Structure 1
Amino acid sequence: MIPPRASLFLLGALAKLTSGATTTATFTQPAAAPTDTSSFYVGASNGSLPYTATVPGLVFDRFIQVWLENTDYSAAAAQSVFQTLSQEGITLSGYYSLTHPSQPNYVAAAGGNFWGLASDDEVTIPANVSTIVDLLDAKGISWAEYEENMPTDGYLGDNFTNPDGYTYYKRKHSPLVSYDSVNQDPARLARIRNFNDFAYDVGNNTLPQWFFVTPNMKDDGHDTGIAYASDWLNYWLVPLLQDPNFNTARTLILLTFDENGNHAINNEIYSILLGGAVPSNLRGTIDNTFYTHYSTLTTVQNNWKLGNLGQQDCNATLANVFQFVADATGYKNNGMTNGTNLPLLNITGTIPGPLNPDYWAPWPAPNTSCVGAGGGFFWSK
């Protein structure tokens, strides 16, 4: 589904040669600790999620994703917090985003496809299109999103402006809210939560087994830059790594970016695997295997034997399982590394799909015959 390399020339006039930072603000922590509630987060918590029994995975029992924004690999690598965290985990030197701009990457990480989307405009994806939530729910695995500065649980607005006049929250950075299978289901929608909810959940030890964390538009570096996002990591993620309610011996954490900042080069992004599930002998090492955001789906599918969505999570080129997990489960990756001839993943605007008005194509039927990293197509079970 990747267009010819000639399409890259279309990017010339649109190339971003910087990370897109627009302010030079100094980070100010919103609360004394990431486990505290704050009026800055605006939305009051609805209390903690209910306690649910843990469904054991083959390698990990909890998977956390923390996404930052629009930063080239080299820019993140120069920051001391990334250097320190890399010594505590596995640096994924061959991890790539899928396209530009931001929103299609978030959408793809939830549903295994971005369906040609090439904008940050609000979209809705039909209810018969499945997501990671369907796979998790089928096995009784708890899940949630935590969106900083989202005003209420399950908020459907395109953005939200705080009382200080700044628009900290934008829907385009929420991976699940665009899917009608989530936003039309009140119980599911209530699991798209804000950071005051996070404080309750971590404090009451009810964090789910799969969850996605989106910092606000400043804290993720989108409106500020990587130095600001690094200060936020030192405030939020670094202390939570020592909190047993967040990081257990069976927790795997992915710290990554939605995309790089320079659209004229391939889409490599600095990514680190952290948490108690990372084997001690692999901490401080580098994994050069070729990964994309689809690897977040296949790794989870492989760990819990969830089946697959029949989308790009079945693409053997783009969807390697994180290697230490594959080694433990016996799954065979494709052998591609960062030094091989990789597909161009910085192409935008010319990939056909139902969300691309210029290159429209119908909604693709899932590949029900695919056997992926977690087994066969999940509805066939």
Structure 2
Amino acid sequence: MSPASLLVLLLLASSRLAAAATAQVFAPPSKGPLVQTANYTSFSNSTLNDRKAVPGKAFNRIIQIWLENTDFATAASTPIFGSLAEQGLLLTNYNGISLPWGGDFFGLHDDSMYHIPSNISCVVDLLEDKGISWATYQENMPTDAFYSIGATASNYASPGSAPYPYYMRKHNPLVIYDSVSQDAERVKRIRTFNDFANDVVNGSLPQWNFVTPNMVNDAHDTTIDFAASFLEYWLLPLLTDPRVNNEETLIVVTFDEAETFTIQNTVFAIALGGAIPINLRGTTDNTLYTHYSLLSTVQANWGLKNLGRQDTNATVSNVFSFVAEKTGYKNVHVDTPPQFNLTGIFPGPLNSIAFVPFAAPNLKARGAGGGSVLTRPGLNTKLTASSLPPPVNLNAVNATSPWQMSPETTSAKNIIPCANALCP
């Protein structure tokens, strides 16, 4: 590791220690969610041109807001979340899993910097195949398409304090896919919160949206009350803004995972927005859902193809019930749910301790959208899950997964193509 990279990591570590030593108090980064601010480092100088909408069966736009590391009971006991539940549909049996947007977590079990090769499909492929616009909005990401492991910025909550690591790449779900980060047009859709404000004001908010608050506003480095204050500042005004939320909008607020690893990984999740039927608002749904359900629900709504992975595993990918009713999809009842709090080591291409190559999906799978499996060019379809070699402990030979990168990697152009015989 270069001295410069070591300095960046030391700065991140020291900032976290400083934050831990001092209780943080929420401060609005801007005058409002649609007002650009210098606290986000760079102002937006572009807007999307998404004017055409593909009609869905239950909603025409979905906005997903992910918070961090909180048990269901903790969130449920917080007034703002109780208030939101009264306005929407509370999903009481919704469970967290890691990295769902490719239909699998691929053995990921740490916060190292990884990338996924361009022959592996993800949700973006499904959306674009049907002409559905999309974007992710990352609070405190320094610039559009930012690639590095993290970034610090001036501490807007405590002026004069050390810069804070507000942005971390691990919470930016699509930049890890080479099919997105190395595509000149797609990568422009990995955008900042200033871009979000600009896109809403210009009437070009996409149909599929993923929103990541920064490391304090998502409760990762703070508390559930801190995250509640953020939602009160950012989300509540948007719920009454027709440019964001209308009768065709579904808004999902959830958490990546529970904080307590010794219990089931059930997280607080609310389905909000004008697309929620009036008779369901203020009610609960105890159907078994996971983050894969966000994939299957979108597939069912727009009649999309699928990824042929866990998004087609009916046990873990039930469609939100109100969407299933409108699309004719039949959910399954699960008497004994699997354990979603996976704390062990599971073989996969993003695991250096138990490395196996990327396997092709199940090409015969059928998903909630009724379409076939979508694969990308260059995929070795003969390398299936049943034909994978035994897992290899690369660390034992002083090596790592070929898909792990150095934290100093700052651009997708710096990626060294995989030359290992175990690569796909």
- Whether TM exceeds 0.5 here: the answer is yes
Instruction: Say if 1:256 and 1:270, in contact at 8 Å, map to a contact too.
Output: yes
Deviation for aligned residue 1:204 = 1.2
User: In the alignment, is residue 189 of structure 1 matched against residue 191 of structure 2?
Assistant: no
Matched, 1:375 2:373: no
In structure 2, C-alpha distance between the alignment counterparts of 1:133 and 1:345, rounded to whole Å: 25
Asked whether 1:358 is paired with 2:381, we answer: no
Query: Residue 34 of structure 1 corresponds to which residue in structure 2?
Result: 33
Any idea what the Cα deviations from partners look like across 1:198-237, whole Å, max 9, x if unmatched? 1101111110000100000000000011010000000001
Residue of structure 2 in register with 1:14 after alignment: none
Deviation per CA, 1:23-47: give whole Å up to 9, x if none. Answer: 5211000111101001101122122
Report the counterpart of residue 345 of structure 1 in structure 2.
Answer: 340
Aligned partner of residue 185 in structure 2, secondary structure: helix
Q: Hey, what does 1:133 align to over in structure 2?
A: 124
1:144-200 CA-partner distances (Å, limit 9, x unpaired): 000000011000011010034101000000110000000110111110000110110
SS of the residue corresponding to residue 137 of structure 1 reads: helix
| Aligned partner of 1:166 among 154, 158, 164 | 164
Map 1:1-381 onto structure 2 (within 5 A): 22=20, 24-98=23-97, 105=98, 107-108=99-100, 110-164=101-155, 165-336=163-334, 340-379=335-374
Q: Given residue 320 of structure 1, which amino acid in structure 2 is its aligned partner?
A: N
Residue 374 of structure 2: SS of its match in structure 1? helix
- Deviation, 1:377, is 2.5
Where 1:326 maps in the other structure, the secondary structure is helix
Distance 1:228 1:61 in 2: 31
> RMSD of the alignment, in Å?
1.2
Q: 1:331 to 1:124 in 2, by over 3 A?
A: same
Moved more, 343-352 or 117-126: 343-352
8 Å Cα contact 1:135-1:378 kept in structure 2: no
Q: Could you report, residue by residue, the CA deviation over 1:65-122 in whole angstroms, capped at 9, with x for unpaired residues? A: 0000000001000111100000000000000012xxxxxx2x22x1111101101111
Query: Counterparts of 1:249 and 1:376 in 2: how far apart (Å)?
Result: 27
Secondary structure (helix, strand or coil) at the match of 1:252 reads: strand
User: Residue type matched to 1:134 in 2?
Assistant: D
Same amino acid, percent of matched pairs? 52
Gaps of 5+ in 2: 1-18, 156-162, 376-424
**What is the DSSP-based 3-state SS (H/G/I as helix, E as strand, rest coil) of the residue aligned with 2:173?**
coil
Give the alignment's TM-score, normalised by structure 2. 0.81
Q: Which amino acid aligns with 2:211?
A: V
SS of the residue corresponding to residue 113 of structure 2 reads coil
TM-score by structure 1 length?
Answer: 0.90
- Determine if contact 1:294/1:319 at 8 Å carries over to the other structure: yes
Q: Secondary structure at the match of 1:375?
A: coil
Cα distance between partner residues in 2 of 1:53 and 1:235:
30
What's the counterpart of residue 3 of structure 1?
none
How far does the alpha carbon of each residue in 1:247-295 deviate from its partner, in whole angstroms, 9 at most, with x for none?
Answer: 0110001100000101111100000000000000000000000000000
**1:220 counterpart letter in structure 2:** D
Larger Rg: 2
| Most deviating of 47-56 and 170-179 | 47-56
- Show CA shifts across 1:54-75 (max 9, x none): 1000110001100000000010
Distance in 2 (alpha carbons) for counterparts of 1:116 and 1:379: 21
Distance in 1, Cα, partners of 2:258 & 2:308: 27
Classify the secondary structure of the residue corresponding to 2:357. coil
**Tell me, what secondary structure is at the counterpart of 1:379?**
coil
- Give the number of equivalent residue pairs: 349
One-letter amino acid matched to 2:92 = S
Deviations 1:351-381 (A, max 9, x none): 111111112222111111011101232438x
Q: What CA distance in whole angstroms lies between the structure 2 residues aligned with 1:315 and 1:61? A: 25
